[in-house]
Amino acid sequence: MSEQPPIIVWFRQDLRVADNPALAHAVQTGAPVIPLFVFDEEGEGKWAPGGASRWWLHYSLEALSDRIAALGSSLIVLAGDSQSILLELCERTGANQVYWNRRYEPAAIDRDTRLKKALADAGLRPRSFNGALLHSPLQIANKSGKPFRVFTPFWKHLRSIAVREILPEPKKLESHGFETLGSEIESLELLPKLDWADGFGSVWTPGEAGAKALFEGFVERGIARYAEGRDFPNEDAVSRLSPHLHFGEISPVQIWRMLSLEEHEPFLRQLVWREFSAHLLYHFPDTTEEPLNSAFSRFPWEFKGDWAEAWRRGRTGYPIVDAGMRELWKTGTMHNRVRMVAASFLVKHLLQPWQVGAAWFWDTLLDADLANNTMGWQWVAGCGADAAPYFRIFNPIGQGERFDPSGEYTRRWVPELAGLPDKFLFKPWEAPADVLEAAGVVLGVNYPLPIVSHPEARVRALEAYARMKENE
Ligand code: FAD
């Protein structure tokens, strides 16, 4: 047993043992390590984890706990205020240092800044590291020393700078002897009371081993088709790594260093969108609620609860939108192309504020990530960094025909339309009565009539945009 006082390694959104800077540095000191996770709901401010994220967190903590046990130690799990818990645990264990990997969301930054001071005031030594991103947002600036607001120059800059090496993974962790101070993971009550999440387990394997297996399978089977296939929801061409990345079960550094930029540029470019969103949220922390382009704070949204609800439930009458919303509810994810179409439909066709959609995604996405979700919604709504121009309005019929040409994806999630021929699958209201009858579709009865007409909604959205511009 080492003579040195123990170091607490506080796990947060870095639920892995490999390439974990806080853990690697603590182990390197030779001091005993006390691995800790604190479920600090209040510390998350307005953005405490949603239902789907809690499901993931439960299983990810189980996986981390097993992994740490296999290395010879044990994960202490507690719930409550991080600061009081850390101070108390240092006192009870004799630890004089606390190591963690930084998070870059506004509430986490506020809390960690206060906490660092409180620990230092108590004579303890806090140390934080970057384990979540390729580069710390503080180290990235454009030629004028300002944060990037446009993706392409950000990407060019990032691809030209070196990424650190993967850190060694501990072979063994000494037992610390304080296991009895923790609680059971079950006591956090993260799993939903409803049976809504029952299907998630057949699609996902939270935890470091699940992330590794998924990444290796993707490199073997999917990555070669990524550039051509990534826009097609029915093709198995994307990595599905986003929840694993969000919870830090695999690090972007591991991915970057295991792939070659020459060979895998399209995929690594997408990974850098994740960096870009973290960079934006770090520099523009109000964007979780407020549009980055402040002109949009005057946008004449229409607040219609029943329209927003039809969208949430996948009952808009637009099959590609409904397919995406139902996929989300059943599996906790939605393909990126369909996210863009469904989100655009809510903000442009239905004129509902993007914040309403972002809140629903926050609750139902397993990969719900404050930076990515905020950037995704603001991008779609036309008010974010490097956003699509507002007046470019996705046509939900054309998008379905183009990106789900066989209709397989849409038929899977909207089975009541499965019997319709391809020609009418994305616009059932245009199908002749005999075609509808042969397919067993009764519009307005077993599948909704379109909630709004596409051409009319398009004109209304453009008028709303023009009204906003008039008031500039
Ligand atoms: P891949 O295509 O395999 O990409 C690999 C990784 O790169 C992803 O896991 C992700 O970490 C990152 N990435 C890829 N595309 C993007 C992107 N456009 N923006 C940021 N990072 C990206 N992603 C989230 O992780 N969490 C969210 O809460 C989230 N909300 C979104 C909301 C909207 C309205 C939109 C349009 C997009 C949102 N995205 C979000 C981005 C994107 O849809 C997902 O990251 C992607 O679908 C995840 O699937 P994948 O892991 O197979 O991605």
Q: For residue 243, give the ligand 1 atom closest to its CA.
A: 25
pLDDT at 193 over 90: no
- In tens, the pLDDT along 103-123 reads 999 999 999 999 999 999 999
Place 189 in a pLDDT band, splitting at 50, 70 and 90: very high
Q: Is 267 annotated as a binding residue?
A: yes
Say whether pTM exceeds 0.90: yes
- Is any atom of ligand 1 closer than 6 Å to the C-beta of 339? yes
Nearest ligand 1 atom to the CA of 342 is 34
> Which range among 198-212, 258-272, 386-400, 456-470 shows the weakest confidence by mean pLDDT?
386-400
Tokens of 63: 């996986």
- Residue whose CA is at the smallest distance from ligand 1 atom 52: 240
What number does the ligand 1 atom closest to the CA of 379 have?
Answer: 36
C-beta 235 within 6 A of ligand 1: no
The answer, yes or no, to whether any atom of ligand 1 lies below 6 A from the CB of 367, is yes
**Cβ contact 402:231 at 8 Å:** no
Q: Is 270 in the pocket of ligand 1 (CB under 6 A)?
A: yes
Q: Is the CB of 245 under 6 A from ligand 1?
A: yes
Q: What dihedral do alpha carbons 217, 221, 223, 227 form, nearest 10°?
A: -150
Q: Binding residue per annotation — 79? A: no
Task: State yes or no: pLDDT of 2 exceeds 70.
Answer: no
In this predicted structure, the answer to whether residue 307 has a pLDDT above a threshold of 80 is yes
The answer, yes or no, to whether residue 314 has pLDDT greater than 80, is yes
219 lines ligand 1 (CB under 6 A): no
Tell me the mean pLDDT in the region 132-147.
94
Is residue 365 lining ligand 1, measured as CB closer than 6 Å? yes
For residue 3, what pLDDT is reported? 82
| Closest atom of ligand 1 to CA, residue 242 | 9
Q: Is 238 in the pocket of ligand 1 (CB under 6 A)?
A: yes
Higher-confidence residue of 195 and 42: namely 42
* Tokens 């260093």 belong to residue: 257
Q: Distance between CA atoms of 70 and 374, rounded to whole angstroms?
A: 38
Model pLDDT, residue 197:
81
With beta carbons less than 8 A apart as the criterion, state whether 252 and 274 touch.
Answer: yes
Q: Give me the pLDDT at residue 230, please.
A: 96
Q: 470 pairs with which residues across the strands?
A: none
Q: How confident is the model at residue 222 (pLDDT cuts 50, 70, 90)?
A: confident
CA 468–ligand 1 middle distance (angstroms) = 29
CB distance 240 to ligand 1 below 6 Å: yes
For residue range 403-428, what is the model confidence (pLDDT) as tens digits?
A: 999 999 999 999 999 999 999 999 99
**Tens digits of per-residue pLDDT, 252-266?**
999 999 999 999 999
ipTM above 0.90, yes or no: yes
Establish whether 81 is an annotated binding residue.
no
- Going from the Cα of 126 to the center of ligand 1, the distance in angstroms, rounded, reads 32
387 lines ligand 1 (CB under 6 A): no
Query: Can you give the pLDDT at residue 1?
Result: 55
Mean pLDDT of the chain: 96
In short, whether 99's Cβ falls inside 6 Å of ligand 1 is no
Quote the percentage of the chain above a pLDDT of 70: 100
9 CB within 6 A, ligand 1 = no
Q: Whose CA is nearest to atom 18 of ligand 1?
A: 273
Amino acid identity of residue 216, one-letter, is E
Best of 225, 279, 336 for a ligand 1 pocket test (most atoms within 8 Å of beta carbon): 336
Distance 61 CA to ligand 1 centre (A): 23
CA of 185 to the centre of ligand 1 (A): 28
